[in-house]
Amino acid sequence: SMVVIVMLISRLLEVLMSRQQVAIENEKLRSENLQNQYNALKSQLDPHFLFNSLNTIMELIEEDKNLAKGFVARLSEVFRYMLSHSDKKLISLRDEIEFTNDYVFLLKLRHSQLSIDFEIAEDGVAWKVPPLAIQLLIENAVKHNEISKARPLKIKVIQVGDLLEISNSVNEKRTPADGAGMGLKNLMERYRIIAEREVHIENHNNVFKVIIPLIK
C-alpha cells in the first residue's frame, strides 16, 4: 500500500542520513587527527633549528667573536621569518627561496667551501611548499657531509616542472652526525598529511637527491 511505501522511503532516508552523518563525523575525526599529527611534526622543527643554531654560535664565539655577532644578527632575521609563518602549512616558493638565501648566508659564514645554486623557473605559477622544506634539506646535506678545501660541498636546487630537486655531492663525514634523518622524515610526513604526495629520494653516482612536489 501507499502507506507502506512511504514508510519504507522514510526509513531509507533515515538510514542514508545516518550513514552520511557517520561519514561526516569520521572525516572530522580524520581531519582533527591529521591536524594533530601536523602540529606535532611542526613542533619538532623550531627546537631542532634552534639547537643547531646555538651550537654554531658557541663554536663561532671560540673562533671569531665578531663573526658570531654577525651570525646572531642574521639569525634574528631568520627567526622572524619562522615566527611569522609558523601557523602556515604552505608558503610561496618565492618566499621560501628568499628565506633559504638568508639561511645559506649563515652557513657560508662557517663553510666557505660550500656552494649552493638555485635554478627556479619563471613560469608564472604561484607554487607553494611547506615552510622550511628547502632549508631542512640543505641543513641535512651540510650536517652529514664533510666540507673542506679538498672536499667542497656543492648543493643544487633545481625546479623541473612541478617538482623541486635538491641535490648534493656526497662527501660523508668519517664520524656520522647525530640524529637519524629527523628533518627528512619530518618533511616526508608533512607532505603526506598536507598534499598526500610522496617525497622521492635518490642516492647514486655519488649524488644524493631529494625530489619534493611543488603545490599549486
Stronger pLDDT, 39 or 79, i.e. the higher one: 79
Residue 92: per-residue pLDDT: 92
pLDDT exceeds 90 at position 196: no
Stronger pLDDT, 103 or 49, i.e. the higher one: 103
Is there a contact between 180 and 216 (Cβ–Cβ < 8 Å)? no
Mean pLDDT value of segment 16-21: 63
Rounded to whole angstroms, the Cα distance separating 56 from 179 reads 16
Stronger pLDDT, 63 or 45, i.e. the higher one: 63
Copy the grid coordinates of residue 179. 640524529
Is there a contact between 207 and 167 (Cβ–Cβ < 8 Å)? yes
Q: Which residues contact 151 (CB under 8 A, 6 or more apart)?
A: 113, 171
Residues above pLDDT 90, as percent of the chain: 24
Copy the grid coordinates of residue 202. 635518490
Tens digit of pLDDT for each residue in 138-166? 988 988 888 988 899 999 999 999 999 99
Residue 4: per-residue pLDDT: 57
Residue 71: per-residue pLDDT: 77
pLDDT exceeds 80 at position 48: no
What is the DSSP pairing of strand 128-129 with strand 200-204? unpaired
Confidence category of residue 187, pLDDT binned at 50, 70, 90: confident
Confidence category of residue 29, pLDDT binned at 50, 70, 90: very low
Percentages of the chain per state (helix, strand, coil), in multiples of 5: 60, 20, 25
Rounded to whole angstroms, the Cα distance separating 171 from 128 reads 31
Mean pLDDT value of segment 4-11: 61
Tens digit of pLDDT for each residue in 85-123? 766 778 899 999 988 888 888 788 778 899 999 999 988
Mean pLDDT value of segment 53-60: 75
Residue 143: C-alpha distances to residues 77, 98, 147, 168, 175 (Å): 22, 21, 10, 12, 11
Residue 130: C-alpha distances to residues 91, 93, 95, 159 (Å): 6, 9, 11, 15
Residue 32: per-residue pLDDT: 54
Residue 194: per-residue pLDDT: 80
Residue 214: per-residue pLDDT: 96
